[in-house]
Structure 1
């Protein structure tokens, strides 16, 4: 992997961590207006220090701040960019029903939901995560700054909710390309400033691509007059305009997520329907992929993975506290390697192993309330990732 070739660096995690009790309680007070942002920040600072210490102790890399300053994983982008308007109660009819949780909300009689609408020209007039990275960097030795990671939501996040017709004001942007081009400018400016501060790892979290893995979802798209093949290409391009022209030593990763709201998933189906186009055409260095259960499908789609890409196999679930069996993890990794070598693009087992790492399939807390695990469960999961990586790569 790009950060190091040592066995410990084969142990990774997606980004978010459970809020420790002190932070969980303080966040609850903040959400109900019972404490100030400054009060919250003090508790966040302490929690982030502890989270960094945990990752350093376990040999987990890249290191994140646990997303402890966010209420939800996607915060800090669209709510910061100029041209974006917060809408506290947008009619549910203006959300795309082919997105599974939107369909469920509509069936349940929900009339509206909060969202963001692009009502003006998109501009990055202030940093998104620069201050968060500065604090994170202050907690490690200078030589470890290159091992830090910032996570950011996908540029398609609100577009997948509202589609090409209701995401942006048509008097501002005439089509999706124009909208995503300006988003790309903003993302690239953020990545450049982070790079100048020493950041070498950025991960884009994308819960959109996996919707195209579901025949139920794509059939609903067609029923509603949306061509899923065209929309998939739109979202591939959206990523690429954000990641282009990056420095050669900046690792851009993409996490393909199936949903992780307090342990709940939103879609099913393996990567087969999208694998060739996504793996070959998206301009990132690393893919974080979910393979924690049968819902995620098998490893066959990995035959499309180009030999230049890194792959982090999400074999350990964050949706419950039960620990996976190390021998089974070893077997599953071997199965993935066999696909990549015997059926795929990679020449040798040794080379395949050099491009692989393992991790939990998703974060432990995409929202501040977290998943149905305890902090002890989380530590056990991370220890399992580190132990398994050490055993596998030291014996490889």
Structure 2
């Protein structure tokens, strides 16, 4: 059994994305309209990232991200950069209708949605996916803090959950999910290897996949479609474990289970009860970033299944709106979580249970570039609250 990984994660954590400044949003709009060059957009991104780093440092957030300033959405920059992938506009019929956010697209009247389709053998691109981005971020901070940089990456199962075996890849290229995931796994491993060589010691996978399996509507829809959700659940866990097999012992890996974070909206509801025991005990990550900012996330009871060698980062502060929580509220939630973790197998002391807990906002502030309906001042206040609460609770 592996040991608990800390520093990272830190007692005061955050999920990664930050509000984009208006100057960057304007520059990206210009770029999309062919009114500025890629170099000009990159310069605006660099300025925004430098400001994001200063914000995190000033507040006392130790896990440093680039705020996802170079992305239009959290999942950008992985699949479409792998060789063999085609970023295109997909008919709504190629998405799985039982997924809550697909229902949202349908309700909006959308007939086509941008997505990724595999048209050739998947390979890691020379030069990597986030390697250049990491190098720039690395240049902005003291050398001793490079190990605190957290790279956020869309999970490997996301496109497959969206489209299923019939619309994720060309069957002339891959004849089975196993073949598709074998090459996708290799590409992810190459990216992680390259980032590690540059000094990356913290990776966070962002993946709504597992949270969507908490939604009754998803399970009911899968059953109606003749799908075995538990078999798919096992497949997705195996994909992650294959990617992370033989990873360096000093590389900390976390998983953020996202219920949707689109301009203040969420896509699904449901507690972790259905998936917690298997997810917590068989997925080979060090920490779980869990959303607990509202009743839609269910109760804390599934934390009883958290094994002694893993960390729960409790997302107790919402990024959906600007209403500020209190230190007392966060303190009470941590106490309740510790009580439940103590009851796990094996049973453990209160001190040991508390030692498995960190706190954070429930999601990023801008999973899409437009961001949530939160001001920059409210974003700063919420991040500062997490730091203040962590000091109060954990010392």
Q: Judge same fold: TM > 0.5, yes or no.
A: yes
2:158 — aligned with what? 157
1:107 CA drift (Å): 4.5
Matched residues in 2 for 1:346 and 1:84: separation?
47
1:113 — aligned with what? 113
CA deviation vs aligned residue, 1:157-208 (integer Å, no higher than 9, x gap) = 1111110122111222221122111111111111111111110000100011
TM-score, normalization by structure 1:
0.96
1:2 — aligned with what? 5
Matched residues in 2 for 1:80 and 1:251: separation?
24
Alignment of 1:48-67 (within 5 A): 48-67=49-68
Matched residues in 1 for 2:386 and 2:108: separation?
39
**Secondary structure at 1:65 match in 2:** coil
1:260 — aligned with what? 261
1:314 CA drift (Å): 0.3
Q: Does 1:147 align with 2:158?
A: no
1:322 — aligned with what? 323
**Secondary structure at 2:79 match in 1:** coil
Distance 1:383 1:34, change over 3 A: same
The answer as to whether partners of 1:321 and 1:378 remain within 8 angstroms in 2 is yes
Matched residues in 2 for 1:280 and 1:288: separation?
15
Matched residues in 2 for 1:116 and 1:334: separation?
43
Distance 1:108 1:318, change over 3 A: closer
Point out where structure 1 has 5 or more consecutive residues left out of the alignment. none
Q: Does 1:301 align with 2:296?
A: no
Q: Does 1:92 align with 2:88?
A: no
Distance 1:178 1:345, change over 3 A: farther
Matched residues in 1 for 2:60 and 2:346: separation?
30
1:76 — aligned with what? 77
**Secondary structure at 2:212 match in 1:** helix
Alignment of 1:21-32 (within 5 A): 21-32=22-33
CA deviation vs aligned residue, 1:269-296 (integer Å, no higher than 9, x gap) = 0000000111111111111000001110
Matched residues in 1 for 2:283 and 2:328: separation?
33
CA deviation vs aligned residue, 1:208-254 (integer Å, no higher than 9, x gap) = 11111111110011111111111111111121122111100000111
The answer as to whether partners of 1:304 and 1:345 remain within 8 angstroms in 2 is no
Alignment of 1:322-341 (within 5 A): 322-341=323-342
Matched residues in 2 for 1:75 and 1:314: separation?
23
TM-score, normalization by structure 2:
0.96
1:381 CA drift (Å): 0.4
Point out where structure 2 has 5 or more consecutive residues left out of the alignment. none
The answer as to whether partners of 1:346 and 1:352 remain within 8 angstroms in 2 is no
Matched residues in 2 for 1:78 and 1:37: separation?
20
1:242 — aligned with what? 243
Q: CA RMSD in A?
A: 1.5
1:105 CA drift (Å): 2.5
**Secondary structure at 2:343 match in 1:** helix
1:104 CA drift (Å): 3.1
Matched residues in 1 for 2:211 and 2:122: separation?
27
Matched residues in 2 for 1:250 and 1:346: separation?
27
**Secondary structure at 1:160 match in 2:** helix
